[in-house]
Amino acid sequence: MASRFRIIKTHQIFNFLIPTVKQKCTVYLPQRLINSAYSAPPKREFSRKLIFGATAGAMGIGLGLYSYLSPPESKYLAGIPLAEKADFTRNDNIMDIKPSREVSGPASALGLDLTLYQYQTCPFCCKVRAFLEFYGIPYKVIEVNPVMRQQLKFSKYKKVPILIVQEKESPKSEFLWISAKISTLGTKIKQQQLNDSTVIISILGSLFLDLPSGLDSVLKYYVPMTYKNEDGKEVEEVMNKYFLMFGDNYEKNTETYLKKERQWRKWADNEFVHLISPNIYRTYDEALQAFNYFSEVGEWEKNFSMFERLIVIYVGATAMYFVGKRLKKKYSLKEDVRQSLYDGCKLWMKEIGSKRKFMGGEMPNLADLAMYGILSSFEGCVAFQDLINNTNIGPWYYNVKEAVTNHYGYQKLKI
Ligand SMILES: N[C@@H](CCC(=O)N[C@@H](CS)C(=O)NCC(=O)O)C(=O)O
Ligand SMILES: *[C@@H]1O[C@H](CO)[C@@H](O)[C@H](O)[C@H]1NC(C)=O
Ligand SMILES: *[C@@H]1O[C@H](CO)[C@@H](O)[C@H](O)[C@H]1NC(C)=O
Ligand SMILES: *[C@@H]1O[C@H](CO)[C@@H](O)[C@H](O)[C@H]1NC(C)=O
């Protein structure tokens, strides 16, 4: 019983709220909030200002009470099983972690074994999943615990998504495939860690769509550089991450098309994504509805007592309502944040125009997949319904969804 008594102090709440807001990924925050009630947030020096003064007390009491009442640890996060035990003490073998689930697809003969470290509702992770599903590439998922992040212990890079690619000898025929499978038992398997959603997509895109010359040769083109950003903080980034490396398929006349594709991938990542949180938590009622939706998809009713569930929903909604307001100011959104969201979608649809089905023409391209992935991260929220009702993005969205869920990209793979 003693171990159950874990009061979460107010400053610990800020420790996980503020970095997340800074990381521009707030859609998955509810999960983070919920999980923090199970396990104390990582110890970090507290040096940040208290911005959400008004909610602080209520949240402290709410979460404190909640952590007292809830079981000491859970294997589930919003209904998704967390990856089991991350024990890297014996060796560095990342593959020791048991995946949360496996996703199948027709492109099983790629000779690659992919493992995605992710948060289910993070828009950047949704982007990578949309890409993999569109091309029918099978992968394993390791759902990271957003507070403890013990599943990322092996990595110096601490954000999600991370993709671990294990290269089997890439056989071209069925026969070779079988022999390679047999030989892996004895051979050392090559393993690469890819960081950042856009880098992951560009590397796999180069590899599968044009340059089937092996992962190592593609990786040489995507070297991270260290530099200081506006805040004077050292960051590592692959500068050419929006560029794909082309081999024989490169044609001069596609230059404009490729430029547009890059430009809109970048826009989705750096501009559109900021419109989400202020919109899904626009009013207190909508924040509540969003949390009720998370509760539904995550089957919280099965996992939480009614009392616990209500505390999480009300405390979470209150906190996120204020976070949304702060982000609205930070990114200078319109007074009615919906207008900014509509503007974003209208701009996107205007660029596609009336002659094309997708930005990519007859088939979605990487810009379509990025935008779709980001939108799909809040598909169940009121803000999404409003978008569908008040802009013309619906038909495009559901067309991409059909293409993604039916793996329409599979026939384009060069394997
Ligand atoms: N540019 C990165 C951004 C990734 C990112 O910001 N991920 C967030 C989650 S959505 C994260 O892991 N933040 C660190 C944290 O929450 O501790 C990408 O496109 O993958
Ligand atoms: C990803 O980050 C890790 C550090 O955590 C680094 O070792 C690895 O080389 C990076 N991957 C790429 C492809 O840059
Ligand atoms: C949470 O709900 C899922 C789905 O119903 C169930 O399988 C799982 O056992 C529950 N987890 C906990 C910790 O109760
Ligand atoms: C959107 O339109 C549908 C059908 O017209 C309606 O049932 C729904 O209430 C509307 N949703 C919102 C959020 O306006």
Q: Is 225 helix (H, G, I), strand (E, B) or coil?
A: strand
- Which ligand number lies closest to the CA of residue 394? 4
pLDDT over 60 (residue 125): yes
CA 164 / ligand 2 centre spacing (Å): 10
Is the distance from the beta carbon of residue 23 to the nearest atom of ligand 1 less than 6 Å? yes
Q: Poorest-confidence range of 20-29, 313-322, 331-340, 404-413?
A: 20-29
Query: What is the rounded distance in angstroms from the CA atom of residue 13 to the CA atom of residue 103?
Result: 34
Q: Give residue 3's pLDDT.
A: 35
pLDDT over 90 (residue 225): yes
Find the length of the chain.
415
> Catalytic residue at 124?
yes
CB of 36 closer than 8 Å to CB of 147: yes
CA 105 / ligand 2 centre spacing (Å): 27
> Catalytic residue at 122?
yes
387 or 184, higher pLDDT: 387
Model confidence at 413, in pLDDT bands (50, 70, 90)?
confident
> Catalytic residue at 125?
yes
- Which ligand number lies closest to the CA of residue 338? 4
Tokens 């391209």, residue located: 365
Q: Name the catalytic one among 16, 66, 117, 125.
A: 125
Model confidence at 217, in pLDDT bands (50, 70, 90)?
confident
Q: Poorest-confidence range of 107-111, 136-140, 187-191?
A: 187-191
Model confidence at 173, in pLDDT bands (50, 70, 90)?
very low
Q: Name the catalytic one among 28, 38, 124, 281.
A: 124
Return the sign of the alpha-carbon dihedral for residues 299, 375, 83, 77: negative
Beta-bridge mates of residue 101: 141
Model confidence at 91, in pLDDT bands (50, 70, 90)?
very low
Model confidence at 182, in pLDDT bands (50, 70, 90)?
very low
pTM confidence score: 0.78
- Of ligand 4's listed atoms, the one at least distance from the Cα of 389 is 1
CA 192 / ligand 2 centre spacing (Å): 8
Pocket test for ligand 4, best of 289, 293, 389, 391 (most atoms within 8 A of CB): 389
CA angle at residue 301 from 300 to 305, to 5 degrees?
Answer: 100
* H helix runs in 206-336, sequence order: 215-219, 255-270, 276-280, 284-297, 300-303, 306-330
Q: Poorest-confidence range of 107-121, 203-217, 377-391?
A: 203-217
pLDDT over 70 (residue 215): yes
CA 165 / ligand 3 centre spacing (Å): 30
> Catalytic residue at 119?
yes
The CA distances from residue 20 to 116, 119, 212, 277, in Å, are 20, 13, 37, 12
For residue 36, give the nearest of 311, 327, 326, 325 by alpha carbon: 311
Q: Give residue 307's pLDDT.
A: 84
Q: Poorest-confidence range of 6-10, 140-144, 308-312?
A: 6-10
pLDDT over 80 (residue 83): no
Is the distance from the beta carbon of residue 157 to the nearest atom of ligand 2 less than 6 Å? yes
CA 385 / ligand 4 centre spacing (Å): 7
- Which ligand number lies closest to the CA of residue 147? 1
Pocket test for ligand 2, best of 115, 154, 156 (most atoms within 8 A of CB): 156
The CA distances from residue 221 to 41, 128, 238, in Å, are 38, 20, 9
How much helix, strand and coil, in percent to the nearest 5, is found in the chain?
50, 10, 35
- Which ligand number lies closest to the CA of residue 384? 4
Is the distance from the beta carbon of residue 191 to the nearest atom of ligand 2 less than 6 Å? no
Q: Give residue 178's pLDDT.
A: 47
Model confidence at 49, in pLDDT bands (50, 70, 90)?
very low
- Residue 168 corresponds to which tokens in the numbers above? 């089997």
Is the distance from the beta carbon of residue 194 to the nearest atom of ligand 2 less than 6 Å? yes
Query: What is the rounded distance in angstroms from the CA atom of residue 388 to the CA atom of residue 407?
Result: 24
Tally of CA atoms within 13 A in the half-sphere of 385 that contains its CB: 7
Q: Give residue 298's pLDDT.
A: 64
Query: What is the rounded distance in angstroms from the CA atom of residue 130 to the CA atom of residue 135?
Result: 9
pLDDT over 70 (residue 30): no
CA 401 / ligand 1 centre spacing (Å): 24
Count of CB atoms situated within 10 Å of the CB of 84: 14
CA 208 / ligand 2 centre spacing (Å): 21
Is the distance from the beta carbon of residue 385 to the nearest atom of ligand 4 less than 6 Å? yes
Q: Give residue 409's pLDDT.
A: 95
Give residue ranges with CB within 6 A of ligand 3.
Answer: 74-76, 79, 299, 302-303
14 or 294, higher pLDDT: 294
Q: Give residue 66's pLDDT.
A: 39
Minimal-distance CA residue to ligand 4 atom 1: 389
Q: Give residue 271's pLDDT.
A: 96
343 or 36, higher pLDDT: 343
Is the distance from the beta carbon of residue 187 to the nearest atom of ligand 4 less than 6 Å? no
- Which ligand number lies closest to the CA of residue 385? 4
Query: What is the rounded distance in angstroms from the CA atom of residue 366 to the CA atom of residue 370?
Result: 6
Tally of CA atoms within 13 A in the half-sphere of 316 that contains its CB: 30
- Residue 358 corresponds to which tokens in the numbers above? 């997708």
86 or 198, higher pLDDT: 198
Cis previous bond, 161, omega within 30: yes
Is the distance from the beta carbon of residue 74 to the nearest atom of ligand 2 less than 6 Å? no
- Of ligand 4's listed atoms, the one at least distance from the Cα of 385 is 13
